[in-house]
Structure 1
Amino acid sequence: MRRYTTVLGDTWDMIAYKLYGNEHLMSVLIEANPQFQEIVLFSADMVIKVPEVATAATTSLPPWKR
């Protein structure tokens, strides 16, 4: 499992976007770091766990053309 060191002013959704490219995956980060779940704005130099997330390939083609 990777780790991420926060920057002053980071939020869960900002971190999820930086690491996964999708702010909606912030719940994955929160579940992996229950000791920080009440934090809204992070201070600098806090280390959080970053679980691996399987990302589905996105495409605009219908299934029969993929």
Structure 2
Amino acid sequence: MGIISDKTERKALLEIAKALRVFQSLEFLCISAGDSVRIAHAEHIIRDVIANNGYGVRFAGKRGIRINKINIR
């Protein structure tokens, strides 16, 4: 794994966000109901890790995945 720290680095969050692209490619494949639930749960966990660190994920077409700092007021 990595070095434990108080805050997750932006670079680590970007690498984690890249995994979300894989979930999009599963939309058109046949998956059992049980596996579908587990996959959706895994995607939700990844999105929560990114959001809990103050970032949002944006898919930028051919440019790939971007994470943006979320301004909470």
Give TM-score scaled by structure 1 length.
0.30
Q: Flag the structure with higher helix content.
A: 2
TM-score for both structures, normalised by structure 2: 0.28
Structure with greater Cα Rg: 1
Identify the structure with bigger relative contact order (alpha carbons < 8 Å, sequence gap 6+): 1
